[in-house]
Structure 1
Amino acid sequence: MPPPRKRASFFRAPKQDGPVLITEAAPSLEQQHRSRVRRYMLLMGFRIPCLVLAAGAYGLWHNALISLVIIGVSIPLPWIAVLVANDRPPRRKDEPSRWDGRRAEHKAIESGRNRSIDG
């Protein structure tokens, strides 16, 4: 005869490995910073292999054009890495838009007839 099974409790949730997220709050600033640093390091990590690959291509084929193309690809990597790392977390679909279209209808400075003084 098999051993008796424990009855699953009706009100108890199954055990989970980590804490349960019960809020819609944004990730903490430390988590956001950590992920931005990780993205920056990943993109900048591609630059060193590009430079090594350029040196290897020149040593293998003695063609400076191939090496310059590889180096040319690595030149914008720091700029791209900074832009990606400084980007905000992606906007959620339920996050409200902050732009109000009604304000765009009104001009900041009214155009009208201005009197001028002729001297």
Structure 2
Amino acid sequence: MGRRPKPQLITTAERSPEQELRSRERRYVAMMLLRGLCVIVAAVLVTAKVPLLWLWLSLLLAGALILPWAAVLLANDRGPRPEHRFRNKLQARRQQQSHPDPAHALTDHEHSEPKIIDAEAPRRSDG
């Protein structure tokens, strides 16, 4: 009996475009809120005249300048295409190593017709 291909697990399924967009929007808003917090804390520190003010202001202003740039980059970033994912490349390499001869790459199970599951198909009654 040949090896059967691994089934698609729900944990490895792709996220929907709506879910991906929503997570990118949340990340953008969180980073911009952090930027606003940096500006507010810098203003409070200036009025409080804390020790090492130059160090704190430089760190907070650097954050206030870098965060918007990073937020836009991350908000416009999408995940890699499935063929470019490292995990998929490793799986393809393993399959090539386990089946070096292309004639033996398919098992008996893979030669049979695929099983189609359709929730809207009429049900048969056997008795």
Q: TM-score normalized by structure 1?
A: 0.52
CA distance in 1, matches of 2:28, 2:72: 7
TM-superposed deviation, 1:80 = 0.3
TM-superposed deviation, 1:52 = 0.9
The higher-RCO structure (CA 8 Å, 6+ apart) is: 2
Aligned 8 A contact 1:55 1:67 in 2:
no
1:59 to 33, 47, 63: 47
2:72 to 79, 82, 100: 82
CA distance in 2, matches of 1:72, 1:88: 26
Aligned 8 A contact 1:44 1:81 in 2:
yes
TM-superposed deviation, 1:72 = 2.7
1:113 paired residue number: none
1:93 paired residue number: 87
CA distance in 1, matches of 2:77, 2:89: 17
The answer to whether structure 1 residue 42 and structure 2 residue 30 are counterparts is yes
Distance 1:33 1:86, change over 3 A: same
5+ residue gaps, structure 2:
1-8, 91-127
The sequence identity of aligned pairs, in percent, is 37
The count of corresponding residues between Structure 1 and Structure 2 is 76
CA distance in 2, matches of 1:56, 1:71: 13
Q: Secondary structure at 1:46's aligned position in 2?
A: helix
TM-superposed deviation, 1:28 = 1.3
5+ residue gaps, structure 1:
1-19, 97-119
CA distance in 1, matches of 2:89, 2:75: 22
TM-superposed deviation, 1:78 = 0.7
